[in-house]
Amino acid sequence: MTLSIKGIAASRGIAIGHAYKLERGRPEVAEACIHKNDINNEILRLKLALEKEKKQLRNIRNKIPAATPSNIAEFIDTHLLMLNDSALSEAPIRIIKENCCTAEWALKLQLDALVSIFDEMDDQYLKTRRDDVIHVVSRILRLLTGEEASVYDDTGILNNKIIIADDLTPADIVLMQHHGVIGFITESGGPLSHAAIISRSLKLPAIVGVHQAKKYLINNDHIIIDGESGTVLIAPDINTEIFYRHEQKRLQQYYASLSSLKKEPAVSLDNINIHLFANAELTEDMNSVNENNVDGIGLYRTEFLFMNRENTPDEEEQYQALLNIITAMNGKPVTIRTLDLGADKPLKSIQYGENPANPALGLRAIRLCLSTPDLFRPQLRAILRASAKGNVRIMIPMLSNIQEVSQVFEIIKDIKQELSQEGLDYDDRIPVGGMIEVPAAAISAYLFAKHLDFLSIGTNDLIQYTLAIDRIDEEVNYLYSPCHPSVLRLIHQVIKAGNRAGIPVAMCGEMAGDPIYTRLLLGLGLREFSMQINTVQEVKNIVNNSLVHRLVRPARSILMCDHAEDALEKIKNLNNQIHLQ
């Protein structure tokens, strides 16, 4: 009999294969003393395991496809930095010497000490860092015990398997895909968890948040995962399997056909031009961006220049990095978001208050920049200088009041005068826009539209702040829904405010690149979408097969829904009406 269990759809697609349960709780390590003569040998074992893990992570990083969002590589870079940190490279060695114990036990003692420190810090960002430390140390422990090698050295053990696990790191997923894994099911996680994001990037079907999946599934169970509906089918009957194999083949043909759209513009059946932009943050992203023939960069994240380093980059380093992106875009617009860092994504070179209780609501993004001129002014100078070399726009993140806009304009005005006095070129009419990702800004979008040259809706944070949930907190991430009536109405309100003011409105959050919402957003009046590069052609295909004027009435009826579930059902019906003719 076929058993069906549900989870959260994380990455679309269908996988049909056999289950492989990854039993990867924190490795059990017993206390073990050694003779003094064996201390050097244990230190050597630890160092070799650290070096092997570094090598493996570097190899994993090199296997990441070019079109994968660069924040996936950042997850792996974070783990590499941890391996180089003295907390893991030096402290366990000291413990081995002081306690005459094995490398495993020393590492276990150090992990317990680190976790204890993190547990005393009551904020969600530090909780994710705690989990990263556990992931990294657990991998080293598995190397020391031989467990990790046994999985990956047998190249056939994971081939055509669907992994069942508590959770997976980005490094796990890239490595497992390399070993032939075709899909993932995790007991924890949400739609914006690390596992979900990288699964979508790699186009691996995945379902997360399947509570007690390991209880219902055993190794070699024949299963189907439907990444569209979030359904796991155990022991499907022959008719069910035939249906899903046909559907799988149809999807494969569909995705293969999308490559033919790369040279085509995004134009609806009623001749409405839609602008599709890419989100980017590294020069390495530019090959994929240009290959997909987008209209420009709708969100260039500048944070990568500041992360994982002791000192902040100076003006010249930032200028050169921006120049590389602008040159690569060859005249197409590049929207540069000013630094979006803060207590939730801290810089080593900036001092923050002690343990902020709610870092996502604290000193971050434009608030941090305005309070730290030595950080903000060099970046604005670099952007303005780069604007002389191409089509550049400035975008301010996390605006919540008009005073912040006025302050930014004053600083820009002052810097322009400086550059003129120094004889340096810049675009005196460089457009300045704002990210609308705080409910206060969405409600007051009509005010921001009076002062700014464009608006861009950052749906990830807008949804999180509107619904008062942390999207990476597994206790509440089930509440994260782009279809919530308040979220949809705020989005529509921002689009209307921009239209009335005669300025462009874009969307640059995950919702912009999710084909489920493309027709809804078109019907609500959105004409600029900025997304991860690997979703551009699918969104374009929907645009090119839609009559936009026929989407307006059904989109507005969706705004009237009382429940997110009802809105999603209507959105699905909207998507099923081919061309809406």
Mean pLDDT by 10 residues, the chain (581 residues): 88 94 75 90 94 86 63 72 86 94 93 80 54 82 74 69 88 81 90 78 89 89 94 95 95 89 95 96 80 94 78 93 94 96 58 58 89 96 97 97 97 98 97 97 98 96 90 73 96 98 95 95 98 92 96 96 96 78 45
CA–CA distance, 57 with 521 (Å, rounded to integer): 39
State the pLDDT at residue 388. Answer: 97
Pair of tokens at residue 499: 């239209």
Element (H, E) at 107: helix 103-119
State the pLDDT at residue 581. Answer: 45
CA–CA distance, 520 with 570 (Å, rounded to integer): 10
Pair of tokens at residue 390: 């191409």
Task: Report DSSP letters for 348-405, one per residue.
Answer: TTS---SS-S-GGGSSBHHHHHHH-HHHHHHHHHHHHHHGGGS-EEEEE-S--SHHHH
State the pLDDT at residue 478. Answer: 74
CA–CA distance, 9 with 46 (Å, rounded to integer): 39
State the pLDDT at residue 123. Answer: 46
Taking Cα atoms as reference points, which of 435, 400, 452, 204 lies closest to residue 298? 435
State the pLDDT at residue 130. Answer: 72
Q: What angle do CA 186, 189, 190 make, to 5 degrees?
A: 120
Domains of the chain by start residue, with CATH? 3-16+164-174+181-256 (3.50.30.10), 36-151 (1.10.274.10), 262-580 (3.20.20.60)
Q: Show which residues are catalytic.
A: 194, 508
